[in-house]
Amino acid sequence: MLKAYQKYFLNKLGWFLVTFVCAFILNFILPRLMPGDPVAAIVSRFAQGLSNATGVQAIYQQYTELFGTNRPMLEQFFIYVRNVVRGDFGFSFSMYPRTVADVLKSAIGWTICLQFPAIIVGWLIGNTLGALAAYLKGGFDKVLMPVSIFASNFPAFGMAIIFLVILGVGLEWFPTSGGYGFDMIPNFSWEFIWSVIVHYQLPFWSIVTIAIGGQAIGMRSMSIYELNADYVKYARFMGIQDKKIIGYVFRNAMLPQITGLALSIGTMVGGALFVEIVFSYPGLGYTLLNGVMGGDYPLISASTLIITVMVLSANFIIEILYGIIDPRIKAAQAD
Amino acid sequence: MRKSILFVVSLLVALSLVLPACAPPAPEVIEKTVEVPVEVEVEVPVEVTVEVPVEVTPIVEEDPTALPRNETMYFNGQQWGPVVGWNPYSSSNNNAMAISQGDNARVVMFETPYLYNMLDGQMYPLLADGPWSWNADMTEITFKIKKAAKWSDGTPLTAEDVAYTWATHVKYNTPTGAANVDYIDTIEAVDAQTVVIKAKLDADGKTVNPLAVAAYVSSNYVLQKAWTETLEARAGGDATELLADTAEDVVYSGPYTKFFADDQKVIYVRDDNYWGQDASMWGKLPAPKYLAHTIFKDNAAGSVALAKGEVDVSQQFNSNIQLLWLSYGLPISTYLPEAPYGIGASLPTAYYNLNSPGLDQVAVRKAIAIAVDYPTIIANAMTNQSATFDQVPRSLMNPTDGEQALYDHDAVADLQWAGNDIEGAKKLLDDAGIVDSDGDGWREYNGQKLSYIATCPNGWSDWQAAIEVVAAAGQEIGIEISSSYPEWSVYQTIVTKSDAPLPEGYDIFMMWSDGAGPTQPWGRIRHLLSSEFVGMASNWNGNWGQYSNPDVDALIQAIPGETDPAKLKEMYTELVKMYLTDIPSFTLMYRPQSFHAVNETVWTNFPHQDDGTDPPVPPLDCTDGWGVACLYNVTLVSP
């Protein structure tokens, strides 16, 4: 028994490492295959209005040297690996002379604070509603299903703008932009915290509203499938209490949903781009978008590396937990 | 500390979980809801979010929880993305409010000897005492520094600082140094107050470019010698290090300094010891104690904030700005009460790739240019925030009175066009023998179908709208023009590479032109037409279509040394003629130097047309060139 689990664990770990190495290499190579020259973008800031050709050329060479973009790709890769091992992601091209670490540090907190609770809340509400719809059927299901399908297919941008226009501009219940009041200076006062909370609401509910629909639909289908499973019928014949049966049903229906949750949490560092743009909310999504647009290799590589690590880790942990929670999976894998 | 952070974050998360989306709860409610049993969700994010409150810890000693609205002027449209640094030698600070040298230099934190006024074309002394003057040979400019001028550390600002600033620019090949080293030889301090700028001379002993030398005094900051030496020591004499230094300790001479900056805003606070309150300059301090710029992520968010009164001065394109006062009755206004609402200063231009087959023919270039529906571009892309070509006929000049007076309108009237001339364009092509010979609906030249791609960077929505109108014009006259929008990172690399013909996909493309400034319109014309930029591997100057005409070059060469106004007018007229005849590029619209819209909920007395100021204060967001006078004129609506 233990040996089977060990084999399962080592198997998963092996795949984790292989995937990680592949992803790491791709994270490095893919941004560098994009067209455009990021150093030219930096030089453009220095060179506007510069009329002597040698001056511009000198500046250009200075920066290609500094960023190492003139070296062969393989050499760049080994320098990158060496630096990453030391925790040094280098300068951000698009925000030079800021370092990538500094750029990420100032934005990632906002992103996680917004995304993590939103994903959890959306997931909880969505799954609860989905399960209820499957169990209660009737009117509740008939209303919930179309609403969920509508919400989950509604463009995220549109939802955020509707919230902005109705609740922010029209009713003026909530502020329309920023992570805290336009007239505030960050400090530990009740006013500031309140300002953060108020500014949090529209971005937060924009994400949650979209998330709920998809989760509810998935959970409903899974639950209906489980509710009709043989073991449920058998349990009913046995006279087991409904409450107890429901417990079993939802535990089983939950499994795929947990995988989905793990993936959402893994990718959340990528930011909620639409929310950040519509509400000018601070975070990594917009920074990353600018990085991609500006060919900011170090920033793209660092961000995608974090996302890779988080997705792989979340997946790995879930797989390991599955092995424990659901013996069927372990058994199938160990064969 | 850590405990309180945990509490704050837990509270935040807990509240977000339980607060109904649309009921602003009273504080009592919140105290109760903190207890809601959502411990599992609450605990998890705590671990990862500890950085946030740390990041937003106040970095200032004074610690108000909020900026007093009556003491703060809010801006938008200047600062995009967080501030990177405070180093005035570098152009990589992304610190738009503090550091922006050029034709209308931003003088909030650092100052220039003179302030350029785009409305009357004059320079007014700031650090300088009285006007500057050329010597008899026109090889040296002399000016004095005001005795009252001081640095923020209380030491006097002297001629030696001016000289050392220039020497540093040259030594480290800064952008300012590289841009002026061809024109300025040395800058010397004769005594503590007197500065002499010695121009570079050509083989005949004449100043290479008197215009560029004179423009230096209003375009470039004076920086402190003592601080510069500190910076040099820190950088160990290395140019890259020096330019990458964030210069948090910089000494400045202007009325404002840094107060707070994070990813969401940057705030500047008034230095109440500012030397400019001396009677020899402003005689008082600027009215707002704080200048604050919220960092918005797009124009839409900025426009909403302007409408809500969270922005006082807006330097961004606000689509259909007139609706804010006409339809919503908001106390918002622009420099002019009617369209075009602002003073046009630059000429966003469509360049032809003169190497594309067919576009080497004037007939084809002219046919496309006269067929374009400019009124639609101006109405749609600019929502009428540009003068039309009926109001200001096309030339090389911007719509300001000063530039318009520089050429003979009658002499070029036959060459100008206002657009939408489909029949004229067709006739032009027919007469040139460029017709549709194979009946496919498209004209051919030398047996080759005229088919082009018009392009501009993706996401530059006003330019994209203009490009679509250009493409539509092609359709009307039998020339196939399709549009394409590469990302800016790609676009700029290709367009600025002038040492080889432009590649496919860049037949007609948009770029900007110079705005208003002390070297204009000469600088703009040079950037539009001079062949000196053809062959540059990284050309950030202009003439991206690679036009070359020795007669044009000769005039561009001669203008800076010409002082006779009648002669100048003749030369400019000649240039306009050649431009409108050869059509290597064509103006699509007029664009203001700054989009200057103000919300007068809190502050009033902003610059408006005929506001009675003398000299007139230009609509440059209260920060640029002589426009900074606005900060001393504004008053509170409710003091």
Q: pLDDT tens digits, residue range B118-139?
A: 999 899 999 999 999 999 999 9
Q: pLDDT tens digits, residue range B171-210?
A: 998 888 888 998 999 999 999 999 999 999 999 999 999 9
Cα-Cα-Cα-Cα dihedral sign, residues B160, B162, B165, B171? negative
Q: pLDDT tens digits, residue range A199-253?
A: 999 999 988 888 888 888 888 888 888 888 888 889 888 888 888 888 888 888 8
Q: Which residues contact B79 (CB under 8 A, 6 or more apart)?
A: B94, B95, B96, B97, B266, B293, B295
Q: pLDDT tens digits, residue range B476-485?
A: 999 999 999 9
Give the integer Cα–Cα distance in Å for B588 and B387. 11
**In B, residues 147-206, which contact A (CB 8 Å cutoff)?**
173, 175, 178-179, 181-182
- A106/B263 CB distance under 8 A: yes
Note the pLDDT of residue A297.
85
Q: pLDDT tens digits, residue range A66-115?
A: 787 888 888 888 888 888 888 888 888 888 888 898 888 888 888 888 98
Neighbours of A333 (CB within 10 A): 17
Quick check: B141 pLDDT over 60? yes
Residue A51: band (very low, low, confident or very high) from pLDDT cuts 50, 70, 90: low
The mean predicted confidence, pLDDT, of chain B is: 87
- A46/B91 CB distance under 8 A: yes
Closest alpha carbon to A28 in A264, A269, A305: A305
Backbone angles phi, psi at B349, to 5 degrees: -125, 145
Residue B61: band (very low, low, confident or very high) from pLDDT cuts 50, 70, 90: very low
Q: Is B12 on the interface with A (CB under 8 A)?
A: yes
Note the pLDDT of residue B9.
40
Question: With contacts defined as CB-CB under 8 Å, which chain B residues touch A192?
Answer: 65
Give the integer Cα–Cα distance in Å for A115 and B49. 11
For residue B140, give both structure tokens. Answer: 């040296």
Give the integer Cα–Cα distance in Å for B229 and B216. 22
Q: What is the pLDDT averaged over residues B405-419?
A: 94
Give the integer Cα–Cα distance in Å for B460 and A96. 23
Quick check: A132 pLDDT over 90? no
Going by the DSSP 8-state scheme, the letter that residue B72 receives in this structure is E
Size of interface A-B (CB pairs under 8 A): 238
Note the pLDDT of residue B582.
95
Q: pLDDT tens digits, residue range B491-500?
A: 888 998 888 9
ipTM of this complex > 0.85?
A: no
Note the pLDDT of residue B239.
86
Quick check: A27 pLDDT over 50? yes
Q: pLDDT tens digits, residue range B512-555?
A: 899 988 999 999 999 999 999 998 887 888 999 999 999 999 99
Quick check: B17 pLDDT over 70? no
- B308/A176 CB distance under 8 A: yes
Quick check: B54 pLDDT over 70? no
The tokens 């469509």 sit on which residue? B350
Helix and strand totals (H; E) in chain B: 22, 24
Higher pLDDT among residues B540 and B109, named by residue: B109
Q: Which residues contact B311 (CB under 8 A, 6 or more apart)?
A: B74, B75, B76, B294, B302, B305, B599
What are the E-state strand segments in B9-127?
Answer: 72-76, 114-117, 122-125
Residue A274: C-alpha distances to residues A30, A160, A206 (Å): 24, 8, 9
Interface probe with A: pick from B4, B5, B16, most Cβ of A within 10 Å: B16
Give the integer Cα–Cα distance in Å for B415 and B526. 20
Residue B26: band (very low, low, confident or very high) from pLDDT cuts 50, 70, 90: very low
Note the pLDDT of residue A54.
59
Share of chain B above pLDDT 70, in %: 90
* B59 to chain A: closest CA residue: A186
Closest alpha carbon to B108 in B85, B126, B134, B125: B126
Partner residue facing A293 (CB), from B8, B60, B489: B489
Note the pLDDT of residue B413.
94
Q: pLDDT tens digits, residue range A281-324?
A: 888 888 888 888 778 888 888 888 888 888 888 888 888 887 77
Q: pLDDT tens digits, residue range A159-198?
A: 888 888 898 888 889 998 888 888 888 888 888 899 999 9
**In B, residues 224-263, which contact A (CB 8 Å cutoff)?**
239-240, 243-246, 260, 262-263
Q: A262, A322 in Cβ contact below 8 A?
A: no
Query: How many angstroms separate the CA of residue B65 from the nearest CA in chain A?
Result: 6
Q: B168, B232 in Cβ contact below 8 A?
A: yes
Helix B550-558, helix B522-529: angle, nearest 10? 160
Quick check: B14 pLDDT over 70? no
Question: With contacts defined as CB-CB under 8 Å, which chain A residues touch B45?
Answer: 112-113, 116-117
Residue A333: band (very low, low, confident or very high) from pLDDT cuts 50, 70, 90: low
Question: With contacts defined as CB-CB under 8 Å, which chain A residues touch B488?
Answer: 293-294
Going by the DSSP 8-state scheme, the letter that residue B200 receives in this structure is P
Give the integer Cα–Cα distance in Å for B109 and B97. 8
The string of DSSP letters for B278-302 reads STTTTSS--S-SEEEEE--SSHHHH
Helix A297-325, helix A242-267: angle, nearest 10? 160
Give the integer Cα–Cα distance in Å for B525 and B521. 6
Going by the DSSP 8-state scheme, the letter that residue B42 receives in this structure is H
Quick check: B219 pLDDT over 80? yes
